[in-house]
Amino acid sequence: MSQTISQTMHAVGLKAYLPIADENSLLDITLPVPTVQNRDLLVKVKAISVNPVDTKVRSPKSKVEENYRVLGWDAVGTVVAAGSEVELFNVGDEVYYAGDITRPGSNSQFQLIDERIAGRKPQSLSNAEAAALPLTGITAAEGLFERLEISNENSSNKTLLIIGAAGGVGSIAIQLAKQISGLKIIATASRPESAEWCRSLGADIVVNHQQDLVKEIRSHGIYYVDYIFCLNTTARHWTTMADLIQPQGKICSIVEPEANIDLNLLKSKSASFSWEFMFTRSMYKTHDMIEQHNILNYIADLIESKKIKTSLNKVLSPINAANLRIAHAELEAGNTIGKIVLTDW
Amino acid sequence: MSQTISQTMHAVGLKAYLPIADENSLLDITLPVPTVQNRDLLVKVKAISVNPVDTKVRSPKSKVEENYRVLGWDAVGTVVAAGSEVELFNVGDEVYYAGDITRPGSNSQFQLIDERIAGRKPQSLSNAEAAALPLTGITAAEGLFERLEISNENSSNKTLLIIGAAGGVGSIAIQLAKQISGLKIIATASRPESAEWCRSLGADIVVNHQQDLVKEIRSHGIYYVDYIFCLNTTARHWTTMADLIQPQGKICSIVEPEANIDLNLLKSKSASFSWEFMFTRSMYKTHDMIEQHNILNYIADLIESKKIKTSLNKVLSPINAANLRIAHAELEAGNTIGKIVLTDW
């Protein structure tokens, strides 16, 4: 089965960096619809979400490029064509995915995606609710379960600190960590409304990372934490993390520090530090790329059994350059709670 | 059963740093024999080994201290008294251990040691052969099996790079890694005799870390390595390690860099970095301290079944300040192959 697909499509792109307040920073453009091959799906995009990676990839102040760059690494849509080696999906399936940073993004009406990094869209969610989940969900799941190696087997009666827990990744991370029985979750947030958001998602303790985190956490009778998931300025929290981590404990971060780091602070504790970068698998074509398919399906299961909920907080419509500029501007201002999604072309 | 124990003992100590060529840098002294309690064993020390940690702990150029500092974190001896809570050993047992950096070291005729960090001396080895093993054996085992999480289950068909493999820790690490079926071991060494030593211990490939390691390793058809165990100047090899590590791979080091580190080099690969510091467990009294007892007994088993051999390379006798100065001087000069041991008072 296949559908009639037009030759050209709407998209939003750029050829050079401009501040987001400039109306040319993101442009409505028309591009040819790409052709499927191998394990690629061609997806008709229904909803997209924005993430800090979008503003980062938009930002390099390089000279004007020849071709448009299409951003966007979060989408929900319908499979409209499949490459000859596709085996996980059929035309007509609804999918959701974050995608591959080395390929054109999801800010376009049609997008190619390797089936191994796409999952089944949670059936109980609207397109907007589902679009909030893939990038943050994969990041949270890889960070917690693969880098920190948190599991039901290893982590009962242990303590996880999530620094900067009210944002996109944190909102899913709290809920995924909550699936581990006996794991205590300490979330940090800096404003009353973000603290309340973390509590509503399942955090056992919420502390303020604008205060002295060591003191705050120890005031709750917790001296060391077994795991730290840092979603907020690694460099600023480095000494605190070194103080708080349990001997032989594990730290994972998703935020690059701007300067070099004093790794020796972790030495006496034989502690470990891992990066979580959700594009590693697709960028390096690792043999276990399909784990992202599995993670997305696992998250769909949790949604459908009402164990976790979407972190969608705001919807803009339609998908166009003007609304994407609004979304980028909000991300750049910081303080986002949950996710911003755009729907429909 | 208990033995008559004298009131005083010979020891080697210092009250202030002096260069090792100075005959007062380490002194023959007399100290009271300590008293056992709780889970401590009192051990009559028969042989000791020296490690880089000795010269490091000797070196701080602080003012003259009131009490003698006793160095030494590797010993073989006989249990002559046991605290009331001891359950793993009996008086008369021969033990070997590295010890606890927060307590007086093994450069004394009698030493207290928590039974949870002591193991059964390998029966087939002389005291000198056994004294070469504990600190390096525990470091190698914790580094490979706990920090890098190498196992028969996970590591078949994977590749381990050991940087600086001819020294004390490397000499055991090669042999312990060799127990993992299907794990390919690349060792680095910089001189013909150290390269040959690594080969004799089981390294599959030996490359020269004075050359371009990336080129050297890729010339053997290996593009990325799954694990890196760095036993030699972390800072100098940092970029190389970032280039060579497999996406999602693990790096462990035992050597503190002198400057801050560009952690971002590992980000795109979601790689991890762990410290291995064998004193973590005793220093922080972790709940799993007894793992060092288990590691030492595991190494004794491997020795007795002839699967690994001691890394002893040189014996000095008796144990006194003059011979310890010779041993420290050799360590400070670098280029040690295997271990230097001192026996008998």
Q: Are B105 and B51 contained in the same domain?
A: yes
User: Could you say which of B248, B275, B302 is where a domain stops?
Assistant: B275
- Say yes or no for a CB contact (<8 Å) between A256 and B264: yes
Local structure of A64: helix, strand or coil: coil
| CATH number of the domain within which B240 lies | 3.40.50.720
Distance of residue B62 Cα from the nearest chain A Cα, in angstroms: 21
For residue A146, CA distances in Å to A46, A176, A259 come to: 30, 13, 26
Q: Which residues contact A306 (CB under 8 A, 6 or more apart)?
A: none
Are residues A130 and A153 in contact, defined by beta-carbon separation less than 8 angstroms?
no
The one-letter amino acid at B179: Q
| Chain A residues whose beta carbon lies within 8 Å of the beta carbon of residue B263 | 234, 256-257, 260-261, 263, 273, 275
For residue B300, CA distances in Å to A322, B77, B113 come to: 70, 15, 18
Q: Which residue of B has its CA nearest to A248?
A: B280
Q: How far is CA A241 from the centre of its chain?
A: 22
| Distance (Å, whole) CA B179 – CA B80 | 35
User: Could you say which of B247, B275, B303 is where a domain stops?
Assistant: B275
- How many C-beta atoms surround the C-beta of residue B297 within 10 A? 15
DSSP A216-276: HHHTTT---EEEEEE-S-HHHHHHHHHHHEEEEEEEEE-S--SS-B-GGGGGGGT-EEEE-
Are residues B49 and B127 in contact, defined by beta-carbon separation less than 8 angstroms?
no
- What's this model's pTM, rounded to 2 decimal places? 0.95
What is the pLDDT at residue B99?
97
| Distance (Å, whole) CA B94 – CA A197 | 59
Torsion of CA A250, A254, A260, A266, to 10 degrees: -10
Q: Is residue A3 part of a domain?
A: no
Q: Are A153 and A263 contained in the same domain?
A: yes
Q: Are B271 and B297 contained in the same domain?
A: no
Angle B72-B77-B83 (CA atoms, 0-180°, nearest 5)? Answer: 95
Q: Which residues contact A37 (CB under 8 A, 6 or more apart)?
A: A83, A84
Q: Are A223 and A192 contained in the same domain?
A: yes
| Distance (Å, whole) CA A98 – CA A101 | 9
What is the pLDDT at residue A61?
77
pLDDT digits (tens, 9 = 90+) for B4-43: 678 999 999 999 999 999 999 999 999 999 999 999 999 9
Q: Is residue B180 part of a domain?
A: yes
| Chain B residues whose beta carbon lies within 8 Å of the beta carbon of residue A279 | 268
Q: Are B123 and B22 contained in the same domain?
A: yes
φ and ψ at residue B269, rounded to 5 degrees: -95, 0
Average pLDDT, chain B: 95
Q: Single out the residue of A296, A247, A265 nearest to residue A122, CA to CA.
A: A296
When pLDDT is cut at 50, 70 and 90, the band that residue B290 belongs to is very high
What is the pLDDT at residue A234?
87
Are residues A239 and A266 in contact, defined by beta-carbon separation less than 8 angstroms?
no
Q: Are A185 and A223 contained in the same domain?
A: yes
DSSP B70-127: -----EEEEEEEE-TT--S--TT-EEEE---TTS--SSBSEEEEEGGGEEEPPTTS-H
When pLDDT is cut at 50, 70 and 90, the band that residue B336 belongs to is confident
Q: Quick check: B1 pLDDT over 70?
A: no
| Distance (Å, whole) CA A121 – CA A301 | 10
Q: Which residues contact A154 (CB under 8 A, 6 or more apart)?
A: none
pLDDT digits (tens, 9 = 90+) for B95-122: 999 999 999 999 999 999 999 999 999 9
- Terminal-residue alpha carbon distance, chain B: 24
For residue B75, CA distances in Å to B34, B38, B228 come to: 16, 21, 29
What is the pLDDT at residue B286?
97
DSSP A139-153: HHHIIIIIIS---TT
φ and ψ at residue B58, rounded to 5 degrees: -75, -25
Average pLDDT over residues B153-168: 94
User: Could you say which of B275, B295, B324 is where a domain stops?
Assistant: B275
| Domain range for B255 | 136-275
Class of residue A88 by CB neighbours under 10 A (exposed 0-12, middle 13-18, buried 19+): middle
| CATH number of the domain within which A35 lies | 3.90.180.10
Beta bridge partners of B112: B42
| Chain A residues whose beta carbon lies within 8 Å of the beta carbon of residue B261 | 260-263
Q: Are B12 and B62 contained in the same domain?
A: yes
DSSP B1-26: ------SEEEEEEBSS---TTSTTSS
| Distance (Å, whole) CA B299 – CA B121 | 9
Quick one: CA dihedral A14, A15, A18, A22, positive or negative?
Answer: negative
- How many C-beta atoms surround the C-beta of residue B260 within 10 A? 14
Q: Quick check: B276 pLDDT over 70?
A: yes
For residue A286, CA distances in Å to A37, A289, B156 come to: 19, 5, 17
Q: Single out the residue of B143, B87, B135, B119 nearest to residue B293, CA to CA.
A: B119
Can you tell me which residue has the tokens 């280039």?
Answer: B243
Q: Are A261 and A320 contained in the same domain?
A: no
Q: Is residue B2 part of a domain?
A: no
Query: What contacts 24+ positions apart, CB below 8 Å, involve B329-336?
Result: B329/B20, B329/B21, B331/B50, B331/B51, B331/B52, B331/B54, B331/B55, B332/B20, B332/B55, B335/B191, B335/B194, B336/B167, B336/B168
Note whether A277 contacts B: Cβ–Cβ < 8 A: yes
Q: Is residue B3 part of a domain?
A: no
Burial per residue of B121-158, b for 16 or more beta-carbon CB atoms within 10 angstroms, e otherwise: bbeebbbbbbbbbbbbbbbbbbbbbbbbbbeeeebeeb
| Chain B residues whose beta carbon lies within 8 Å of the beta carbon of residue A269 | 275, 277, 280, 284
DSSP B220-269: TT---EEEEEE-S-HHHHHHHHHHHEEEEEEEEE-S--SS-B-GGGGGGG
Q: Are A307 and A232 contained in the same domain?
A: no
Q: Quick check: B73 pLDDT over 90?
A: yes
What is the pLDDT at residue A125?
97
Q: Which residue of A has its CA nearest to B146?
A: A248
Distance of residue A250 Cα from the nearest chain B Cα, in angstroms: 9
Q: Is residue A22 part of a domain?
A: yes
What is the pLDDT at residue A4?
66
- Residue A50: both structure tokens together: 């924005």
| Chain B residues whose beta carbon lies within 8 Å of the beta carbon of residue A275 | 263, 266-267, 269-272
What is the pLDDT at residue A29?
98
Q: Is residue A181 part of a domain?
A: yes
Q: Are A28 and A129 contained in the same domain?
A: yes
Q: Single out the residue of A329, A341, A336 nearest to residue A22, CA to CA.
A: A329
pLDDT digits (tens, 9 = 90+) for B293-305: 999 999 999 999 9
For residue B168, CA distances in Å to A144, B229, B230 come to: 35, 13, 13
Q: Is residue A2 part of a domain?
A: no
Local structure of B132: helix, strand or coil: coil
Name the domain count of chain A.
2
Nearest beta carbon to residue A267 from set B259, B270, B275: B275
For residue B25, CA distances in Å to B13, B32, B323 come to: 9, 21, 12
What is the pLDDT at residue B194?
93
Distance of residue B38 Cα from the nearest chain A Cα, in angstroms: 23
pLDDT tens, chain A, 345 aa long: 455 678 999 999 999 999 999 999 999 999 999 999 999 999 999 999 999 999 999 988 777 888 999 999 999 999 999 999 999 999 999 999 999 999 999 999 999 999 999 999 999 999 999 999 999 999 999 999 999 999 999 999 999 999 999 988 999 999 999 999 999 999 999 999 999 999 999 999 999 989 999 999 999 999 999 999 999 888 899 999 999 999 999 999 999 998 999 999 999 999 999 999 999 999 999 999 999 999 999 999 999 999 999 988 899 999 999 999 999 999 999 777 779 999 999
Q: Which residues contact A305 (CB under 8 A, 6 or more apart)?
A: none
Q: Single out the residue of B91, B217, B94, B92 nearest to residue B163, CA to CA.
A: B217
To which H or E segment does residue B55 belong? helix B52-58
- Say yes or no for a CB contact (<8 Å) between B270 and A273: no
Q: Please determine, for the modelled complex, whether the ipTM score is greater than 0.90.
A: yes
Q: Are B156 and B111 contained in the same domain?
A: no
Nearest beta carbon to residue B274 from set A260, A272, A275: A272
Nearest beta carbon to residue A270 from set B269, B270, B280: B280
pLDDT digits (tens, 9 = 90+) for B167-203: 889 999 999 999 999 999 999 999 999 999 999 999 9
Q: Is residue A1 part of a domain?
A: no
Nearest beta carbon to residue A248 from set B247, B271, B286: B286
DSSP A7-61: SEEEEEEBSS---TTSTTSSEEEEEEPP---TTEEEEEEEEEE--HHHHHHH---
What is the pLDDT at residue B105?
97
Local structure of B166: helix, strand or coil: coil
Q: How far is CA B32 from the centre of its chain?
A: 28
Q: Which residues contact B5 (CB under 8 A, 6 or more apart)?
A: B33, B42, B80, B81, B110
Q: Quick check: B3 pLDDT over 70?
A: no
Quick one: CA dihedral A98, A104, A106, A112, positive or negative?
Answer: negative
DSSP B147: I
What is the pLDDT at residue B63?
78
Q: Are A196 and A102 contained in the same domain?
A: no
Q: Phi-psi bin for B336: left (phi > 0), alpha (psi -120 to 50), beta?
A: beta
